[in-house]
């Protein structure tokens, strides 16, 4: 499992220097504009935009490819079926296999949109430290409870994942899931196994819950939720960037918004 | 069960957000009515992370294995925190693994989160039936129902969205039949999810009852 | 007001400034359990370094939680630098280091975590920055300040946790088992850090050698009472006393140990 | 077959029975990282009690995980009682105790947890019962057997975790930092337990005094290599060697320590 979100967030590129708020708005609007297109002729345009942005971000291609692997498989499953079952215009037939035109076109559209959106989303998340991303979302109106939950969840995901994998190792070392002599009924999970896995998941919940109680105490001792002092949000606002950067960032935002509008207009016409 | 980017048209994605936002707002309002919302925050966050990780546990179902969704259980344990928790969890699944996506986050949150809220209420019915069935049996029955229906509802929404939004050339009636058919095919999974939820609730009752007693 | 009265008032104030902690007849019990602490009284002078020893369940952790106001005593009083502790109060002048650093590093980066306390104190951003830099420099974390805490080693996490508490400029620091999860290198670094630190210290530890190296006074607790209080060499060197309360005399205080093993 | 040949075969077999562990040129690295273990070779006789020391990151934990087959070596071989370890094998004759007992306890009662291993071995219920009772008696947990392990103290959890491994009747036990989270009483109990135990032991610990009390041989590891192997008093008493590898000579091996502190 690769967890790292922001391992390339400290490179230097125009996209890394882009003011986080402008970047977030600009790229999100662009992503939705990508989702909006239905005209196949726009697919190359959309892919070209995404590719250019990724090139500008100076992140290695291997990063993108590693990110595409899992969702790619999932999409492949859905998509491979479309050309054969969807539509009426048969373009190729071999035995029971029938390739239909509408299906092929629909597949190209879905794949094109998917690639463009996922690449742009990766640029958005990959060029900003995660903490900055969440702070930016908060400054743009994300409720602070959700922002705080996101950051706390993020912080402890790694620890809890490590706990689970150690516990699973311990179970395997004591022979769990390794008894070959057991008879299995197809499509029926073994009740004993299910019960043990439920206690594994339950233990994970209990351990996390108990840790959260200790964390709350530690937070209280460092002033969290105290009434004596002015109550600050748990995490401070975004760091501001120098004014010279602002103009370029603003220019970048205007450009992306124009591109997005262009796409939508082209789609409607 | 996540809908990835690119499949749904923008209008459906936006509609997803249009439903997710007021549900989030409603959940937050209920949370702020709690005695001490600041105390609940670390608990909800760590449990969100734990649920997220626990859903990666492989459940062997010969000849293969499945992952559980656990949204029903999440509703039972987290109450009104369930919807924000699912939103946060799905956000991480989208950006870390590409399960789901940013454009479909609203849709996915509705698909998983509203059934979780329903499950949370189903689980509360155990108090109504406590006298009739006895404390233990009532808890077990409603834990099973919460788990099974949490998944079942999510499956119905999932297939409805996918089938109606993929150009198929089928007529509306065939599409409807396909939605029901595919959802029915999920019955065995509902049984497993329900059983797992029931076993887990029994475990928590034994080891840490306050996890299912607290009302959020 | 006569001059003698004024004089006695001044000397009172002086005495209060000198006293970091005044604990008077502190009692505590959890619901449905027998008393965990019985009438604990203790005076701690500013700048003292006190080791608190005793086996698990002797009340050390509860004692620390009472001092920093997380728990409410059933009876008795705790006065810190002249001001009584009220439960629920946020008193940045008392810092507590928890046993497991993971429980107290809850932010997404080291810098952010160290800034958490000062921000909650309502300090202006420049002051927060200043304190964060100061605490990070004190604990030697300069190179790590932008890293997420989950990437750090155990010893590094411990130092970040300490920095997070120090950034609030506590005058009394409570350390609960600070060396429990450290290897020898990290433990040595911690000992050197503790020896240099300026605050009044209370350190609870099973690691008696650490207490011998850092503290100038030791308190032995058993069943919720203070059963000995004095010079670390004298208290911990008293084999009969230590064994009576479930402890062992530290090896470094045994005169000719080789013969034991040889 | 000549009688000499037969004789040499017999003595070979005898020698194999005598050897609990044969580790030959073991190498291991995680992806994208330099070697964690370099050509580790080690012979362990049945019944030996070996302490494994070294600072964090020296490769101790990786070494243990390789021996019990959780990790797959990049090169080299591990033979346990004459049979090579294949990764993915379930080998109940090797038991591993994890550093944190919480990682190893997940059942709703102590009894169920101890029964987990024997049940997975496919033993008949009476045999499972017998082994559980035996393991519970060995670890002194009789009074706790119906409690959920999550409610026990750190020392009790440790003993439950040990019972869970012992119920599988391992012939080699690997203990990873067994005293890390224990207080002095629980640690003393553990030491007495280890001194009495019959299995071949490998114990990794920062707690050098524990190793001095339990082990008859010690291995010092640094940067993935075995840098010293021998009698615990000799290896750990060699101040220069210990300090070169980030460790400290244990206090109990220092002749006149009082003068250091006095």
DSSP chain A: ----S-TTTTS-SHHHHS-HHHHHHHHHHHHHHHHH---TTHHHHHHHHHHHHHHHHT--HHHHHHHHHHHHHHHHHHHHHHHHHS-S-EEEEETTEEEEHHHHHHHHHHHHHHHHHHHHHHHHHHTS-HHHHHHHHHHTT--HHHHHHHHHHHHHHHHHHHHHHHHHHHHHHTTTT--TT----TT---HHHHHHHHHHHHHHHHHHHHHHHHHHHHHHHTTTT-SSSPPPPSS--PPP--HHHHHHHHHHHHHHHHHHHHHHHHHH-
Model confidence at A244, pLDDT cuts 50, 70, 90, reads: low
Kind plus residue range of the DSSP H or E element containing D220: strand D217-222
Kind plus residue range of the DSSP H or E element containing C241: helix C239-244
Mean of the per-residue pLDDT values of chain C = 85
What are the beta bridge partners of residue D219? D52, D229
The pLDDT of residue C259 is above 70: no
Model confidence at C89, pLDDT cuts 50, 70, 90, reads: confident
User: What is the number of residues in chain B?
Assistant: 216
Which letter does DSSP use for residue D254 in this model?
A: -
Quick check: C177 contacting A, CB < 8 Å? no
The pLDDT of residue C22 is above 60: yes
The pLDDT of residue D84 is above 60: yes
The pLDDT of residue C120 is above 90: no
Interface of D with A in 65-104 (CB under 8 A): 65, 68, 70, 90, 92, 95-96, 98, 100, 102-104
The pLDDT of residue A236 is above 50: no
pLDDT over 70 percentage in chain C: 89
Q: What is the pLDDT of residue D85?
A: 87
Do C26 and C219 contact (CB within 8 A), yes or no? no
CB contact under 8 A, A190 and B77: no
Kind plus residue range of the DSSP H or E element containing B23: helix B10-32
Nearest by CB to A224, which of C109, C112, C120?
Answer: C120
> Which residues of chain D neighbour C209 with C-beta distances below 8 Å?
251
Min Cα distance C145 → chain D (Å) is 22
Q: What is the pLDDT of residue D46?
A: 92
> Which residues of chain D neighbour A207 with C-beta distances below 8 Å?
102
Question: B162, exposed or middle or buried, with CB in 10 Å at 0-12, 13-18, 19+?
Answer: middle
The pLDDT of residue D130 is above 70: yes
> Which residues of chain D neighbour B203 with C-beta distances below 8 Å?
108
Residue with the bigger pLDDT between D14 and C180: it is: C180
Residue entry with tokens 């000995």: C228
Nearest by CB to D120, which of A163, A175, A202?
Answer: A175
Quick check: A151 contacting C, CB < 8 Å? yes
Q: What is the pLDDT of residue D32?
A: 67
Q: What is the pLDDT of residue B167?
A: 60
The pLDDT of residue A184 is above 80: no
Q: What is the pLDDT of residue C168?
A: 92
> Which residues of chain B neighbour D150 with C-beta distances below 8 Å?
207-208
- Could you tell me the two tokens for D253? 């091996």
The pLDDT of residue B45 is above 90: yes
Min Cα distance C50 → chain D (Å) is 17
Quick check: B203 contacting D, CB < 8 Å? yes
Quick check: C221 contacting A, CB < 8 Å? no
Q: Give B215's contacts (C-beta < 8 A, 6+ positions apart).
A: B79
Q: What is the pLDDT of residue D220?
A: 94
Quick check: A71 contacting B, CB < 8 Å? yes
Residue with the bigger pLDDT between D61 and B86: it is: B86
Count of CB pairs separated by less than 8 Å, A with C: 85
pLDDT (tens digit, 9 = 90+) per residue, A21-53?
889 999 999 999 999 888 888 999 999 999 999
Give the residue-averaged pLDDT of D110-139: 93
Q: What is the pLDDT of residue A84?
A: 65
CB contact under 8 A, A234 and C89: no
Which region holds residue D259: left if phi is over 0, alpha if psi is between -120 and 50, else beta? alpha
> Which residues of chain D neighbour A196 with C-beta distances below 8 Å?
106-107, 116
CB contact under 8 A, C108 and A131: yes
Which of A93-102, A109-118, A159-168 is least confident? A93-102
Give the residue-averaged pLDDT of C147-158: 86
Model confidence at B148, pLDDT cuts 50, 70, 90, reads: very high
CB contact under 8 A, A221 and C115: no
Domain boundaries, chain B: 10-213
What are the beta bridge partners of residue D21? D44, D80
Alpha carbon distance A32, D163 (integer Å) = 58
Min Cα distance B204 → chain D (Å) is 9
Which residue, C161, C9, C11, C27, is CA-closest to C100?
A: C161
CB contact under 8 A, D106 and A171: yes
Min Cα distance A250 → chain B (Å) is 23
The pLDDT of residue D1 is above 50: no
Model confidence at A233, pLDDT cuts 50, 70, 90, reads: very low
Give the residue-averaged pLDDT of B24-30: 94
> Which residues of chain B neighbour A32 with C-beta distances below 8 Å?
10, 13-14, 103
Buried b (16+ CB within 10 A) or exposed e, A237-249: ebeebeeeeeeeb
Model confidence at A238, pLDDT cuts 50, 70, 90, reads: very low
What are the beta bridge partners of residue D28? D37
Q: What is the pLDDT of residue D246?
A: 84
The pLDDT of residue A144 is above 50: yes
Q: What is the pLDDT of residue D144?
A: 92
The pLDDT of residue C16 is above 80: no
Question: β-pairing, C49-53 with C217-222?
Answer: parallel
The pLDDT of residue D238 is above 80: yes
CB contact under 8 A, A172 and D70: yes
Cβ count near C81 (within 10 Å): 18
Quick check: B215 contacting D, CB < 8 Å? no
Q: What is the pLDDT of residue A74?
A: 65
- Could you tell me the two tokens for D178? 């067994």
Q: Which residue of A has its CA nearest to C146?
A: A129
Residue with the bigger pLDDT between A11 and C57: it is: A11
CB contact under 8 A, C252 and D260: yes
> Which residues of chain A neighbour D70 with C-beta distances below 8 Å?
169, 172-173
Count of CB pairs separated by less than 8 Å, B with D: 9
Min Cα distance A1 → chain C (Å) is 16
pLDDT (tens digit, 9 = 90+) per residue, B165-178?
766 556 677 777 77
The pLDDT of residue B78 is above 50: yes
pTM of the model: 0.87
Model confidence at B72, pLDDT cuts 50, 70, 90, reads: very high
Model confidence at A91, pLDDT cuts 50, 70, 90, reads: low
Model confidence at A2, pLDDT cuts 50, 70, 90, reads: very low
Do D29 and D59 contact (CB within 8 A), yes or no? no
> What are φ and ψ of residue A93, in 5° steps?
-140, 135
> What are φ and ψ of residue B90, in 5° steps?
-65, -35
Count of CB pairs separated by less than 8 Å, A with D: 57
Q: What is the pLDDT of residue C148?
A: 84
Question: β-pairing, D49-53 with D75-80?
Answer: unpaired
CB contact under 8 A, B59 and A197: yes
Cβ count near B29 (within 10 Å): 10
Which letter does DSSP use for residue D106 in this model?
A: -
CB contact under 8 A, D150 and A200: no
Touching subunits for chain B (3+ Cβ pairs under 8 A):
A, D
Mean of the per-residue pLDDT values of chain A = 81
pLDDT over 90 percentage in chain D: 55
CB contact under 8 A, B61 and A189: yes
Give the residue-averaged pLDDT of D247-260: 69
Model confidence at C130, pLDDT cuts 50, 70, 90, reads: very high
> Which residues of chain C neighbour A159 with C-beta distances below 8 Å?
102, 150
Strands (E), C104-224: 172-176, 200-204, 217-222
Chain D residues with CB-CB distance to C under 8 A? Answer: 55-57, 153-155, 180-188, 206, 209, 212, 233, 246-248, 250-258, 260-262
Which region holds residue A227: left if phi is over 0, alpha if psi is between -120 and 50, else beta? alpha
Do A260 and A29 contact (CB within 8 A), yes or no? yes
CB contact under 8 A, A214 and C103: yes
Angle separating helix axes B82-92 and A144-173, nearest 10 degrees: 70
Interface of A with D in 59-98 (CB under 8 A): none
Interface of A with B in 133-192 (CB under 8 A): 143, 145-146, 148-150, 152-154, 156-157, 160-161, 163-164, 168, 177, 184-191
Q: What is the pLDDT of residue A237?
A: 43
Alpha carbon distance A262, A33 (integer Å) = 9
CB contact under 8 A, C180 and D180: yes
In angstroms, the first-to-last Cα distance of chain C is 72
Candidate ranges A168-182, C209-223, D55-69; pick with highest mean pLDDT: C209-223
Residue with the bigger pLDDT between C255 and D122: it is: D122
CATH number at B10-213: 1.10.1760.20
The stretches of chain D forming alpha helices (DSSP H) are: 3-18, 60-67, 110-120, 125-138, 154-166, 184-196, 208-214, 232-237, 239-244, 258-261
> Which residues of chain A neighbour D173 with C-beta distances below 8 Å?
none
Min Cα distance D193 → chain A (Å) is 21
Interface of D with A in 193-212 (CB under 8 A): none
Alpha carbon distance B140, A116 (integer Å) = 47
Question: β-pairing, C217-222 with C225-230?
Answer: antiparallel
- Which residue out of D53, D56, D222 would a mutagenesis test of the C interface target, given it has the greatest number of C Cβ atoms within 10 Å? D56
Alpha carbon distance C19, C16 (integer Å) = 5
User: What is the number of residues in chain C?
Assistant: 262
Q: What is the pLDDT of residue D17?
A: 55
Quick check: A182 contacting C, CB < 8 Å? no
CB contact under 8 A, A121 and B95: yes
Q: Which residue of C has its CA nearest to D214?
A: C261
Do B192 and B147 contact (CB within 8 A), yes or no? no
The pLDDT of residue B25 is above 90: yes
Alpha carbon distance B143, B195 (integer Å) = 9
Min Cα distance B131 → chain A (Å) is 27
Sign of CA dihedral D113, D114, D118, D121: positive
Do C50 and C231 contact (CB within 8 A), yes or no? no
Quick check: D70 contacting B, CB < 8 Å? no
Cis check for the bond before B179: say yes or no (omega within 30 of 0): no
């Amino acid at each position: 499992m690769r967890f790292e979100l922001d391992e390339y967030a400290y490179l230097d590129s125009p996209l890394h220097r882009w003011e986080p708020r402008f970047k977030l708005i600009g790229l999100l609007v662009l992503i939705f504009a990508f989702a909006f297109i239905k005209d196949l002729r726009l697919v190359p345009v959309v892919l070209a935009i995404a590719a250019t942005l990724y090139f500008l971000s100076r992140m290695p291609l291997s990063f993108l490819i590693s990110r595409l692997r899992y969702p790619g498989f999932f999409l492949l499953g859905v998509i491979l079926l479309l050309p054969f079952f969807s539509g009426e215009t048969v373009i190729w037939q071999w035995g029971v296999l029938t390739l239909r035109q509408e299906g092929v076109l629909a597949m190209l559209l879905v794949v094109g949109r998917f690639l463009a959106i996922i690449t742009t989303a990766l640029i958005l998340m990959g060029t900003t430290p995660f903490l900055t991303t969440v702070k930016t979302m908060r400054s743009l109106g994300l409720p602070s409870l959700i922002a705080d939950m996101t950051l706390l969840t993020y912080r402890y995901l790694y620890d809890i994942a490590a706990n689970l994998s150690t516990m699973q190792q311990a179970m395997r070392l004591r022979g769990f899931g390794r008894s070959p002599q057991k008879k299995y009924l197809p499509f029926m999970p073994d009740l004993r196994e299910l019960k043990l896995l439920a206690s594994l998941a339950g233990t994970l919940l209990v351990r996390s819950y108990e840790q959260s109680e200790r964390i709350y105490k530690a937070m209280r001792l460092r002033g969290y939720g105290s009434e004596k002092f002015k109550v600050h949000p748990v995490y401070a606002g975004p760091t501001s960037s120098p004014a010279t950067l602002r103009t370029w960032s603003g220019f970048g935002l205007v450009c992306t918004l124009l591109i997005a509008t262009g796409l939508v207009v082209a789609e409607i016409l | 069960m996540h809908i990835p980017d690119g499949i749904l048209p923008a209008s459906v994605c936006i509609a997803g957000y249009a439903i997710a936002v007021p549900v989030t707002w409603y959940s937050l309002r209920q949370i702020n009515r709690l005695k001490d919302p600041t105390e609940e925050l670390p608990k909800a966050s760590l449990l969100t992370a734990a649920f997220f990780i626990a859903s990666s546990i492989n459940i062997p179902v010969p000849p293969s294995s499945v992952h559980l969704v656990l949204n029903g259980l999440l509703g039972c344990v987290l109450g009104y925190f369930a919807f924000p928790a699912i939103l946060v969890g799905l956000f991480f699944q989208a950006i870390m693994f590409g399960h789901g996506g940013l454009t479909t986050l609203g849709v996915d949150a509705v698909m998983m989160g509203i059934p979780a809220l329903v499950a949370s209420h189903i689980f509360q019915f155990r108090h109504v039936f406590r006298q009739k069935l006895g404390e233990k049996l009532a808890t077990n029955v409603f834990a099973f129902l919460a788990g099974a229906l949490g998944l079942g509802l999510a499956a119905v929404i999932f297939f409805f969205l996918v089938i109606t939004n993929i150009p198929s050339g089928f007529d509306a009636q065939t599409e409807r039949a396909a939605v029901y058919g595919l959802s029915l095919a999920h019955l065995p999974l509902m049984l497993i999810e329900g059983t797992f939820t029931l076993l887990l609730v029994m475990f928590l009752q034994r080891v840490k009852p306050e996890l299912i007693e607290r009302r959020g | 007001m006569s001059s003698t009265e004024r004089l006695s008032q001044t000397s009172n104030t002086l005495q209060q400034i000198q006293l970091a902690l005044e604990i008077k007849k502190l009692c505590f019990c959890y619901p449905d359990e027998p008393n965990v602490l019985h009438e604990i009284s203790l005076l701690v002078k500013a700048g003292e370094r006190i080791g608190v020893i005793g086996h698990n369940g002797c009340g050390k952790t509860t004692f620390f939680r009472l001092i920093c106001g997380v728990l409410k005593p059933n009876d008795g009083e705790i006065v810190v630098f002249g001001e009584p502790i009220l439960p629920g109060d946020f008193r940045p002048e008392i810092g507590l280091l928890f046993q497991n650093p993971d429980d107290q590093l809850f932010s997404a980066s080291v810098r952010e975590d160290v800034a958490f306390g000062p921000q909650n104190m309502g300090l202006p951003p420049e002051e927060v920055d200043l304190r964060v830099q100061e605490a990070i420099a004190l604990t030697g974390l300069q190179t790590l300040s932008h890293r997420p805490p989950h990437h750090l080693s155990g010893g590094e996490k411990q130092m970040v946790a300490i920095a997070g508490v120090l950034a609030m400029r506590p005058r009394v620091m409570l350390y609960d088992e600070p060396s429990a999860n450290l290897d020898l290198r990290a433990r040595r670094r911690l000992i050197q850090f503790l020896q240099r630190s300026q605050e009044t210290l209370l350190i609870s530890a099973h690691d008696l050698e650490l207490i011998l190296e850092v503290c100038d006074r030791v308190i032995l607790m058993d069943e919720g009472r203070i059963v000995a209080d004095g010079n670390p060499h004298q208290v911990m060197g008293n084999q009969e006393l230590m064994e009576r309360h479930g402890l062992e005399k530290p090896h470094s205080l045994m005169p000719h140990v080789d013969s034991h093993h040889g």
